[in-house]
Amino acid sequence: MLRLSDAVPLSEIVQLLAGRLVRGADSTRIDRLATLESADGTSIAFLSSRAYRDKARTTSAGVVVTSVELADAVPAKAALVEVPDPYRAYGLIARQFNAWLNTRSNPSVHPSAVIASSASLGHGVAIGPGAVVGERVCVGAGAVIGAGCIIEDDAVVGTGVELRSRVTLGYRCVVGDRSLVHAGTVIGSDGFGFARYQGHWEKIPQLGRVQIGADVEIGANCSIDRGALDDTLIGDGCKLDNLIQVAHNVQIGEHTAIAACVGIAGSARIGRRCMIGGAAGILGHLDICDDVTISAMSLVSSSITKPGFYSGIFPLMNNADWERAAVVVRKLPDLRARLRRLESYLKEH
């Protein structure tokens, strides 16, 4: 990570964290946020998990922030700041360093952007080179539309939204306040709807929208389809990683987090506060209740009505062992039948 050009005194950081300076000088100067391993004397580092105590013991960090419980792993030469939740504290400091390092230039609209005269831009909107803003688009105050973004007619971009480069926001679709969408993501592509007729497929136009709530983050190169008639809905506070497919009329509840490469089929409804592991699949027309966790690469093929942690993964093996196991998997019904026969034979004799 970069260093600050102007180091800050530790006192400023302790105050920001509402932490307790247990050891070290208020005036220690910090110019870098670092991992325990890569930290040096002017770096601040965080110990937030028991698993990293060994790394803390050998760190060269000038300052370590941790909890009372883990404080004894911090070497005596480092300044020590105690906080109730070190991981959250790390997030706070990271946000502060991000602000210091990436001071944003004054918002401006690049002359190469193509903006329809009927579009309305709020106060302090920034629009990057080559971006396209269609007819009757509303862009809220302070929104940032990155280079090469395409905002189609009648779309709505909330206040403080950030669309990184090359995002497509389809006609009539809505992104809620303060949401962040990463590069290459497509919001509002057509749902996959066709009627089979005389050996070929007839397209069913997709007339709904995508509605994305507030404080949502969506990663890079995702695709989120518009609804067939009703809208595709992503609730407030949801966090989606990269390369995720959300089909038409999916509904995702508030504060659900979805790891990369997940595919969600049409009309699936996912509850609130769920956590979906990477490359998991969710079939269409089913319901997942609130507070469900799904393991990576597992397939949800029917509704889940009970909160909990669900998995379905073929375990990894040496390939030769796998080949032998796979042969038996194909014969499992036969195996069970043979076992039953033995059991009833022995019962009779």
Nearest CB to a copy of itself, comparing residues 22 and 326: 326
Work out how close the CB of 69 gets to a copy of itself at its nearest, in angstroms, rounded to a whole number: 18
Binding residues among 243-262 for a copy of itself as defined by CB under 8 A: 243, 245, 247, 255, 257, 259-261
| Residue of 268, 229, 228 whose CA lies nearest to 252 | 268
Q: Which member of 248, 255, 285, 349 is catalytic?
A: 248
Interacting residues with a copy of itself between 78 and 117 (CB under 8 A): 85, 87-88, 90-91, 94-95, 97-98, 101-102, 110, 112, 114
What residues between 268 and 297 interact with a copy of itself by CB under 8 A? 273, 278-279, 281, 283, 293-297
Q: Which is nearer to a copy of itself, 23 or 35 (CB)?
A: 35
Q: Is 2 in the site for a copy of itself (CB under 8 A)?
A: yes
Can residue 319 be called a binding residue for a copy of itself (CB under 8 A)? Answer: yes
The reply to whether 8 sits near a copy of itself by the rule CB under 8 A is no
Joined together, the tokens standing for residue 222 give 């995702």
Which SS3 state, helix, strand or coil, does residue 89 take?
A: helix
Nearest Cα residue to 146 out of 101, 185, 189, 102: 185
DSSP class of 102: T
Chosen residue from 19, 146, 176, 235 binding a copy of itself by CB under 8 A? 146
Closest distance to a copy of itself from the beta carbon of 148 (Å): 6
Taking CB under 8 A as the criterion, the residue among 27, 76, 342, 348 binding a copy of itself is 342
Strand pairing class (132-133; 150-151): parallel
Residue 349 designated active-site = no
Stretch 45-84 residues interacting with a copy of itself (CB under 8 A): none
Q: For helices 319-330 and 332-348, give the axis angle rounded to 10 degrees.
A: 60
Total residues contacting a copy of itself by CB under 8 A comes to 129
Nearer to a copy of itself, 138 or 296 (CB): 296
Strand 29-30 relative to strand 8-9, pairing: antiparallel
25 forms part of the interface with a copy of itself (CB under 8 A): no
CB 232 within 8 A of CB 250: yes
- Residue 276 bridge partners (DSSP): 258, 294
Taking the C-alpha atoms of residue 126 and residue 195, their distance in angstroms, rounded to an integer, is: 43
Answer for which of 74, 78, 172, 252 binds a copy of itself (CB under 8 A) is 172
Site for a copy of itself in 27-46 (CB under 8 A): 33-35, 38
Looking at residue 335, the DSSP 8-state letter turns out to be H
State which of positions 173-192 bind a copy of itself (CB under 8 A).
Answer: 180, 182-184, 186, 189-190, 192
Strands (E), 134-193: 138-139, 144-145, 150-151, 156-157, 162-163, 168-169, 174-175, 180-181, 186-189
Binding to a copy of itself (CB under 8 A): which residues in 199-218? 199-205, 207-208, 215, 217
Q: What's the token pair of residue 345?
A: 């034979």
The CA distances from residue 15 to 18, 87, 252, in Å, are 5, 17, 38
**Structural element, H or E, at residue 55:** helix 53-57
Least separation in angstroms between CB 4 and a copy of itself: 11
Active site residues: 248
